[in-house]
Structure 1
């Protein structure tokens, strides 16, 4: 199992310069550490990041089909079923036949689910604060802005390899 030391990007003179210059390596290792911190913080609640994502999608976008949730949340449809089952067991969502199409279900967040969302969000806000502790508020905003721009660039095909 990876420990935070295993995931350190730079170990000083022990890290070759070529490795220190690789953005994908830095982002991957930072992401793995941040994910570990978030998972550990959510564990006492019996929650997962996917619970937060689905509840947030439903709270902000309203009731939706499983397919719509998968698209909005960017969760694989095969993974979404297990997440929805867990959320339904907790009473945080309800499934009901779609009045417009009886072949599919509409998923809706419950009042209890809105409370759960707030509980998870508070934990994740604390995680964000701990992860970004070395940064000022301005630096945090700048980091989100810069990473958002890089992500948008890559999503639009900007990082694709040229055709042979």
Structure 2
């Protein structure tokens, strides 16, 4: 007879959550070498992709509370990774742009994250890794589609 805990541990949601937590931890540890946390990295990446972008737009895109976004941007600006200046079309808002140092840090963090992800997937063959990514991408796509 299986216990309730054994049943829980066999659920895909449990397994995905445990693997995701391990992967997030591995990436967080890797990018800590650059002085960043996961959310700093996400904000820096979004700024590089969408900048110049308002603080409010960054918050909406990443589902970050405005007060938390201010703290994250303060840290990134103190490190010289982003600049905040009046938005060209609405001077009441701040536009956030990534600096050249921010781009360099983002590239280094990307390389560190790749190594961490390769370590996470190391128990799998290359074909199994590709299959896992295809399946996870399909599940993610289904989760984003209206039911």
- Give the helix-richer structure, 1 or 2: 2
Q: Same fold (TM over 0.5)?
A: yes
Which position in structure 1 is the counterpart of 2:145?
Answer: 156
Counterpart of 2:29 in structure 1 is 40
Match of 2:66 among 50, 59, 77: 77
Equivalent of 1:60 in 49, 56, 67: 49
RMSD: 2.1
Q: Distance in 2 between matches of 1:76 and 1:123?
A: 27
Q: Is the Cα–Cα contact under 8 Å of residues 98 and 106 in structure 1 kept in the other structure? A: yes
Structure 1 residue aligned with 2:15: 26
Q: Distance in 2 between matches of 1:51 and 1:24?
A: 27
Q: Structure 2 stretches of 5 or more lacking a match?
A: none
More moved, 85-94 vs 62-71: 62-71
The aligned length equals 146
Counterpart of 2:91 in 1: which secondary structure?
A: strand
Which structure 1 residue ranges, 5 or more long, are not aligned? 1-12, 159-164
Instruction: Report how far residue 14 of structure 1 moved.
Output: 8.6
Mapped contact 2:34–2:105 kept (Cα < 8 A) = no
Greater relative CO, 1 or 2 (CA 8 Å, sep 6+) = 2
> What is the deviation of 1:16?
5.2
